[in-house]
Homo-oligomer: A and B are copies of this chain.
């Protein structure tokens, strides 16, 4: 079992040369070291027959580097992050790097464990998407000299960041929502649902939302427009059920994330008409949404573009150009207006 894997030593014994020669040939440096064609071919042939695969643990130990890049996302079950993970994977592999994908479920302990693991694996660079323990994660990376690029989040403490301009996008999105409400000759309060107050991205989106409201001179009556809820469909559903059960006739809802949208749709199934009276702005996108009969405008962040921006920063070297926030493009997707 254990001794099954062929090594360069096994090849050298089979061919009748030294491990040095085998190593030179297999790393494609045969002519550099002027190995005879005959020896070279015998080695290559034997390696193929034995189904030789180099032991990366040995190689990495030797080099002190791993060629591994890692991405840490909160979850893979949401399209935006899975699209990001896939784009990451493809970019890594086309650049000869090995991609490590980890989902940490918005959990600080899991995130810090993942970083420790990356350090142990000698990971060269970690791309952290929207992390719960942002500042500890960054600190740990810095201490271990693990390169880090932050994606889809703002990082207070410097470092490289590629993200949607949450404030601006939320402002644009909200403005469109207000226009659609006006076009439908509706009126009433507009709520922002989803995310927790300590989540920095939610904070920025909320600020953009509020800025759009005040630009349109919409004073919010009574309570605050922010209805917090974790990024969890079941809990979001309950929040919507409560909201719609109230007598108040609101005109619009800013739905912060797909997880929250999923909660809305769970409620929508049983209360289609009530839900269709309201206009929605969704900060996120899923292709299936286009088949849902609601009146919405949504922000489609482009995970692929974001990822390739981040990757090109990595490939250029993190020191080139210094720390910066790079804003990724996004588009607005709008449903046909209802009624």
A36 to B233, CA, bound (A): 53
For residue A232, CB closer than 8 A to chain B, the reply is no
**Does A100 lie within 8 Å of B100, measured CB to CB?**
yes
Chain B CB within 8 A of A183 CB: no
Interface string of A94-135 (1 = CB under 8 A from B): 000011111100000010010011011110000000000000
**A77 CB contact (under 8 Å) in B61, B65, B83, B122:** B83
Residues of chain B lying within 8 A (CB to CB) of residue A86: 75-77, 103
| A144: chain B residues within 8 A (beta carbon) | 4-5, 51, 53
Residues of B within 8 A of A64 (CB): 2
Neighbouring B residues of A103 by C-beta, 8 Å:
85-86, 89
* A110 to B4 alpha-carbon distance, docked (Å): 24
Is A315's CB within 8 Å of the partner chain B?
no
Q: Are B76 and A66 in contact (CB under 8 A)?
A: no
Contact size range, A: 35 or more
Cβ contacts under 8 Å, A34 to chain B: none
- Asked if A185 lies at the interface with its beta carbon under 8 angstroms from chain B, I say no
Residues of B within 8 A of A56 (CB): 57, 120-122
Interchain CA distance A272-B5 in the complex, whole Å: 58
Query: Are A288 and B290 also in contact (CB < 8 A) when A56-B121, A86-B75 are?
Result: no
The answer to whether A54 touches B120, judged by C-beta atoms less than 8 angstroms apart, is: yes
Question: Which B residues are CB-close (under 8 A) to A75?
Answer: 86
Asked if residues B83 and A98 are in contact (CB atoms below 8 Å), the reply is no
- Smallest CB gap from A272: residue in B: B293
Contact A53 B269 (CB under 8 A): no
Q: In the complex, A256→B98 CA distance in Å?
A: 33
Among B76, B145, B268, B287, the residue within 8 A (CB) of A233 is B287
Cβ of A238 within 8 Å of any chain B Cβ, yes or no, is no
Chain B residues closer than 8 Å to A122, beta-carbon distance: 5, 55-57
Q: Is A15 an interface residue (CB 8 A)?
A: no
A286 proximity list for chain B (CB < 8 A): 288
With both chains docked as a complex, state the minimum distance between the C-beta of A305 and any C-beta of chain B, in angstroms.
16
A42 vs chain B, min Cβ distance (A): 21
- Could you tell me if A117 and B145 are in contact, using CB atoms closer than 8 angstroms? no
Chain B residues lying within 8 Å of A117, measured Cβ to Cβ, are: 98
Residue of B nearest to A265 (CB): B291
Contact indicator per residue, chain A 123-157, by CB within 8 Å of chain B (1) or not (0): 00000000000000000100111000000000000
CA distance A102 to B76 in the complex (A): 12
A339 to chain B, nearest CB (A): 15
Q: Measured between alpha carbons, how far is A293 from B272 in the docked complex, in Å?
A: 10
Q: Tell me whether A58 is interfacial, beta carbon within 8 Å.
A: yes
Cα distance A85–B77 in the bound complex, in angstroms = 9
Q: List 26 A-B contacts (CB under 8 A).
A: A5-B145, A53-B120, A53-B144, A55-B61, A55-B122, A56-B120, A57-B60, A57-B121, A57-B122, A58-B61, A76-B76, A76-B82, A76-B86, A77-B82, A77-B83, A86-B103, A89-B102, A98-B117, A99-B102, A101-B101, A233-B287, A265-B291, A268-B291, A269-B291, A286-B288, A293-B293
